[in-house]
């Protein structure tokens, strides 16, 4: 959450002039996203119309070879009626440009706010929006491997090391090892795959009342098990943030909203608990890694890895499988 | 430059509902200001009109007893035609509210961008805008002492200590002591006083082309020598940022723009070099203090104190007094 690169007003005005969007009249660095610099840009057309955009400068964490996938996906989904921001192409019709060897893209601004205490009606809408992108993305020709899948979790666990994990919580190293072994043995291989968002937390959903006005931050989007995205979204929306309490009403709303547009097969439904364990492992591992690599006094808020260890425990308890039964969600 | 406080969407919506400005439809934390949290807020009226505001939450560095002065001054200046943002009063007509014991104010959003490489025409406009607020503020009944005046510089030097200053630059402690002694002996006592901005750096001026669209960040505003504000603005705009090079064309433009609206007396003009020394000392001292109290690896960019030691040397060299002569600026 930062602006990593400073751009002067004259530089910003020159950058904006490369797009057919009017004259720059305002630019504010915004505290959004964890790894890129973002500005909220206001432009004015010759006839006085004012429009907002997001200008994103991609910093180290984004692999530039992935940008055509991410930005092409946004364009494809927007064209197919999904609530995602379009990429504004420059005067040469390129979806991103370079400034001093850093890539930047001008992105449509969508209104809406990210809820922190979602209601069932809101989570229902999120489920439907997720199904909508899964359906629409079926026609998108590109694919991208998931760098944070099964082998990625193992690699992160190795980088953290048993001592590193134990420093977070005494039982964490053993817990992670047992869970990784389980996931490696039982991870489903035959479920439908598609382009997935893979990070649909409340931060990445803009809402106006009970409606989804925008899905944003597709920088983890990849090709993977479609129902895994349902599980990620379930882990992201249906628990208290510390993972200590599960909200069955939100869970029912999410699945019902999703199935309004894309019913899950019996096989997908049955796999949701293990997919939830995988989703929890993914965020447990990235949070553990970030925890170990962020000084305690840094200005960035460290997110507690254990919040996802608790979710993982929830998904691995057979008693909770009932939450994913069709009958329970009718 | 940060958002120190996290406010959830629901909390932000409740806060905005206390003002008669329509419904919250967007809120982005913005990286502006050094000591407060700021959000760029978008609201929609029942007939669909979208308006932008800045929501400011005052953090530790702002003395709440000063807020009525700061916000009352904005209202007074805006009413009197100055390009400053109005404070939006809440439904009880209060200029600021409290949320969990922190004060917050909703402020008009003004378009414009802060230039980094100003032209003489832009600096001329800045001079005129400064004179405009000096003239308009004459009718503002309130006053506030300048906590960063002569005695404030001495106090900061004492807090830094000779060793602390020497760690920044080997000659700095002796330089500061000699300059403080000079300023304490020769600081002018009989120049006209008024409300001054006291921090009119390019960051705090919004421009559209050559026009000033907004003067912002009045949180150092106080009652002090009017021409001292000219000197602060001169030190802020007429040098390269490292203080190593002075631009006479910008200097002439600033003074000429100022004098278009408020001619300086001979006495004020003659005092500009010593006022410039004082202005340089003020930023040298606050930067030295911040330098010593900010870890080198913090995410906040430390500003080099020596950039103002160089300005101070410029102002104290008698050869440069010619820059402030009337004849040189005609």
Q: Which of B2, B32, B115 sits opposite A10 (nearest CB)?
A: B115
Has residue B67 got a pLDDT over 50? Answer: yes
- Residues B294 and B242 reside in one and the same domain: yes
Distance CA A172, CA A305 (A): 10
Surface-to-core class of residue B34, CB atoms within 10 Å of its CB (0-12 exposed, 13-18 middle, 19+ buried): middle
Q: Which of B5, B8, B28 to mutate to test the interface with A (most CBs of A within 10 A)?
A: B28
Identify the helix (H) or strand (E) that includes residue A227. helix A226-237
- Residues A269 and A152 reside in one and the same domain: yes
Task: Kindly report, residue by residue over B117-166, the tens digit of the pLDDT.
Answer: 999 999 999 999 999 999 999 999 999 999 999 999 999 999 999 999 99
Give the pTM: 0.84
**Which residues, 6 or more positions from B162, have their beta carbon under 8 angstroms from its beta carbon?**
B173, B177
Distance CA A41, CA A43 (A): 7
Report the pLDDT value the prediction gives residue A296, as an integer from 0 to 100.
61
- B161, part of any domain: yes
Boundaries of domain holding A68:
9-108
Q: CA of B282 to nearest chain A CA: how many angstroms apart?
A: 25
- Residues B292 and B156 reside in one and the same domain: yes
Report the pLDDT value the prediction gives residue B85, as an integer from 0 to 100.
97
Q: Whole-number mean pLDDT of chain B?
A: 92
- The strand pair at B50-58 and B97-99 is best described as unpaired
Q: CA of B110 to nearest chain A CA: how many angstroms apart?
A: 8
The domain tally of chain A equals 2
- Residues A315 and A255 reside in one and the same domain: yes
Contact B31 A27 (CB under 8 A): no
- Residues A128 and A89 reside in one and the same domain: no
3-state secondary structure of B105: strand
- Residues B165 and B200 reside in one and the same domain: yes
List of E strands, A168-318: 193-196, 205-208, 211-215, 222-225
Distance CA B192, CA B228 (A): 10
Beta bridge partners of B16: none
Distance CA A22, CA B263 (A): 39
DSSP states along A254-274: HHHHHHHHSPPPHHHHHHHHH
Distance CA A148, CA A217 (A): 16
Region B282-292: mean pLDDT is 94
Distance CA A270, CA A247 (A): 20
- B3, part of any domain: no
Report the pLDDT value the prediction gives residue A301, as an integer from 0 to 100.
65
Contact A40 B32 (CB under 8 A): no
Contact A9 B111 (CB under 8 A): no
Q: How confident is the model at residue B327 (pLDDT cuts 50, 70, 90)?
A: low
- A54, part of any domain: yes
Q: Which of A3, A12, A113 sits opposite B9 (nearest CB)?
A: A113
- A114, part of any domain: no
Q: Give yes or no for a contact between A139 and A76, defined as CB atoms under 8 angstroms apart.
A: yes
CATH of the domain at A15: 3.30.200.20
Report the pLDDT value the prediction gives residue A7, as an integer from 0 to 100.
84
Q: CA of A42 to nearest chain B CA: how many angstroms apart?
A: 8
Distance CA B243, CA B86 (A): 34
- Residues B140 and B196 reside in one and the same domain: yes
Nearest Cα neighbor of A42 from A23, A60, A58 is A23
Domain end, chosen from B81, B108, B135, is at: B108
Considering only CB atoms, which chain A residues are within 8 Å of B24? Answer: 113
- Residues B131 and B36 reside in one and the same domain: no
Has residue A3 got a pLDDT over 60? Answer: no
How crowded is residue A270: how many other Cβ atoms within 10 Å of its Cβ? 18
Considering only CB atoms, which chain B residues are within 8 Å of A12? Answer: 113
Report the pLDDT value the prediction gives residue A302, as an integer from 0 to 100.
72
Domain end, chosen from B58, B83, B108, is at: B108
Q: CA of A316 to nearest chain B CA: how many angstroms apart?
A: 31
Domain end, chosen from A44, A73, A108, is at: A108
Torsion angle defined by CA atoms of residues A240, A246, A249 and A252, in that order, rounded to the nearest 10 degrees? 110
Q: CA of A303 to nearest chain B CA: how many angstroms apart?
A: 14
- Residues B183 and B296 reside in one and the same domain: yes
Distance CA B313, CA B243 (A): 10
- Residues A50 and A177 reside in one and the same domain: no
Distance CA A210, CA A226 (A): 24
Q: CA of B116 to nearest chain A CA: how many angstroms apart?
A: 6
Contact A26 B112 (CB under 8 A): yes
CATH of the domain at B226: 3.90.1200.10
- B329, part of any domain: no
Report the pLDDT value the prediction gives residue B300, as an integer from 0 to 100.
59
Distance CA A237, CA A257 (A): 13
Task: Kindly report, residue by residue over A188-246, the tens digit of the pLDDT.
Answer: 999 999 999 999 999 999 999 999 999 999 999 999 999 999 999 999 999 999 999 99
Nearest Cα neighbor of B255 from B274, B242, B272 is B272
- B115, part of any domain: no
Considering only CB atoms, which chain B residues are within 8 Å of A117? Answer: 8, 10
- Residues B245 and B101 reside in one and the same domain: no
- B2, part of any domain: no
Q: A253: number of CA atoms within 13 Å, CB side?
A: 16
Q: Give yes or no for a contact between A183 and A278, defined as CB atoms under 8 angstroms apart.
A: yes
% of chain B residues with pLDDT over 70: 95
Q: A275: number of CA atoms within 13 Å, CB side?
A: 25
- Residues B25 and B157 reside in one and the same domain: no
Beta bridge partners of A50: A44
Task: Kindly report, residue by residue over B190-231, the tens digit of the pLDDT.
Answer: 999 999 999 999 999 999 999 999 999 999 999 999 999 999
- B30, part of any domain: yes
CA angle B314, B315, B320 (to 5 degrees): 75
Task: Kindly report, residue by residue over A17-36, the tens digit of the pLDDT.
Answer: 999 999 999 999 887 766 78
3-state secondary structure of A30: strand
Region B47-55: mean pLDDT is 94
Distance CA B161, CA B177 (A): 11
Q: Which of B3, B44, B111 sits opposite A25 (nearest CB)?
A: B111
Residues of A with CB under 8 A from a CB of B: 1-3, 6, 8-13, 24-32, 40, 42, 44, 50, 52, 111-117, 206-208, 295, 297-301
């Amino acid at each position: 959450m930062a602006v990593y690169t400073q751009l002067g007003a004259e530089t910003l005005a020159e950058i904006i002039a490369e797009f057919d969007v009017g004259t720059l009249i305002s630019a504010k660095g915004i505290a959004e996203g964890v790894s890129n610099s973002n500005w909220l840009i206001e432009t004015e057309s010759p006839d006085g119309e004012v429009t907002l955009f997001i200008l994103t400068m991609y910093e180290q964490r984004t692999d530039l070879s992935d940008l055509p996938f991410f930005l092409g996906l946004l364009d494809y989904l927007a064209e197919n009626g999904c609530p995602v921001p379009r990429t504004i192409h420059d005067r040469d019709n390129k979806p991103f440009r370079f400034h001093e060897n850093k890539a930047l893209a001008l992105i449509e601004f969508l209104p809406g706010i990210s809820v922190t205490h979602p209601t069932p009606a809101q989570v229902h809408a999120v489920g439907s929006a997720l199904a909508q992108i899964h359906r629409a993305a079926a026609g998108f020709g590109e694919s991208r491997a998931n760098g944070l899948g099964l082998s990625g979790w193992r690699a992160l666990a190795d980088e953290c090391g048993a001592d590193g994990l134990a420093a977070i919580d005494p039982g964490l190293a053993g817990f992670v090892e047992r869970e990784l072994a389980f996931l490696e043995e039982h991870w489903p291989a035959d479920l439908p795959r598609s382009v997935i968002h893979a990070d649909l937390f409340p931060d990445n959903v803009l809402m106006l009342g009970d409606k989804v006005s925008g899905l944003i931050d597709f920088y983890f989007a990849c090709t993977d098990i479609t129902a895994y995205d349902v599980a990620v979204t379930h882990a992201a929306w249906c628990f208290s943030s510390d993972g200590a309490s599960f909200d069955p009403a939100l869970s029912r709303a999410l699945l019902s909203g999703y199935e309004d547009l894309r019913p899950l097969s019996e096989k997908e439904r049955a796999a949701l608990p293990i997919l939830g364990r995988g989703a929890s492992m993914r965020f447990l591992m990235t949070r553990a890694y970030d925890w170990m690599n962020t000084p305690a006094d840094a200005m960035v808020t460290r997110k507690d890895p254990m919040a996802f260890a608790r979710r993982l425990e929830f998904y691995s308890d057979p008693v909770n499988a009932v939450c994913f039964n069709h009958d329970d969600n009718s």
